[in-house]
Amino acid sequence: MSANVLIIDDDRGLCELLQEYLQSEGCNVYAAYTGPEGLDMALTREFDVILLDVMLPQLDGFEVLKALRAKKMTPVIMLTAKGDDFDRIFGLELGADDYIPKPFNHRELLARIKAITRRIAHLLNNSVAPSFKYQDLELDLASRTASIKGTPLPLTGTEYEMLHQLIKSAGQPVTKQTLSHTVLGRPLAPYDRSVDMHVSNVRKKIAQHSSHTYIKTLRGSGYIFLKA
């Protein structure tokens, strides 16, 4: 696997271990040890995935993510404290693509990175239809962007793919398990709210520009994209 990965974490020992491991798997790995340094690198260089710790000196991970999302949609995996639901949920609300609690298995982290890079490569290689359009909502498959009445929606890569998967099955129920497997690249774990948070973010961003209800929750199972 060839991917440019940025690690933003003040734990230099962990960064060195991750660099060594990910480089052995074919990744190009860069590290930053403070929030401002990491944000500057994230904004001025191109990365396939950013690994972002929550607890950072000078500028915490949430502030870095918020500033990054104002300008770029580079995929971000948050590194959170084990058992800290607030950090995980808040990170997803701010636009993180995924999270992994510390301490974590290096192979699991690599699997998360591969899932993100595979998803992006698949979308780039299989965008044969120019666009999907429903009511005021349009998806441009070539550029992986969405818009309402011509106004671009600031969706992250994961949010875009959640919407894309729902639209592909318009009028049909899509389970959370399916979305987790297809978009996040992993089975849906008990109490995992990642899918819910990503879909919630999509709804909020659509609602800023349209009063039309596109996505309906199917209680206890999943979601359905409503046809016109």
Residues 60, 62, 63, 65, CA torsion sign: positive
Token reading at 227: 């046809």
Same domain for 90 and 53: yes
pTM of the model: 0.79
For 64, the domain range is 4-122
**Which one of 70, 103, 122 terminates a domain?**
122
Instruction: Check whether 228 has a pLDDT greater than 80.
Output: no
Same domain for 181 and 141: yes
Same domain for 137 and 118: no
Same domain for 132 and 76: no
Same domain for 116 and 137: no
The tens digit of pLDDT for each residue in 61-113 reads: 999 999 999 999 899 999 987 667 888 899 999 999 999 999 899 999 999 99
**Which one of 61, 89, 122 terminates a domain?**
122
Strand partners, 146: 139, 153
| Amino acid identity at 188 | L
Residues 126, 128, 199, 156, CA torsion sign: positive
Q: What percentage of the chain carries pLDDT values higher than 90?
A: 72
Same domain for 69 and 93: yes
Same domain for 169 and 105: no
> Measured between alpha carbons, how far is 174 from 217 in angstroms, rounded to an integer?
10
CATH number at residue 138: 1.10.10.10
Which residues have a Cβ under 8 Å from the Cβ of 80 and sit 6 or more positions away? 54, 87, 88, 91, 99, 100, 101, 102
Same domain for 207 and 114: no
Same domain for 163 and 84: no
Same domain for 112 and 9: yes
> Measured between alpha carbons, how far is 160 from 6 in angstroms, rounded to an integer?
22
Same domain for 132 and 118: no
> Measured between alpha carbons, how far is 141 from 31 in angstroms, rounded to an integer?
32
**CA-wise closest residue to 76 among 52, 54, 94:** 52
The full length of the chain comes to: 228
**Number of domains into which the chain is organized:** 2
**Which one of 67, 88, 122 terminates a domain?**
122
Q: What is the mean pLDDT of the chain?
A: 91
Same domain for 161 and 76: no
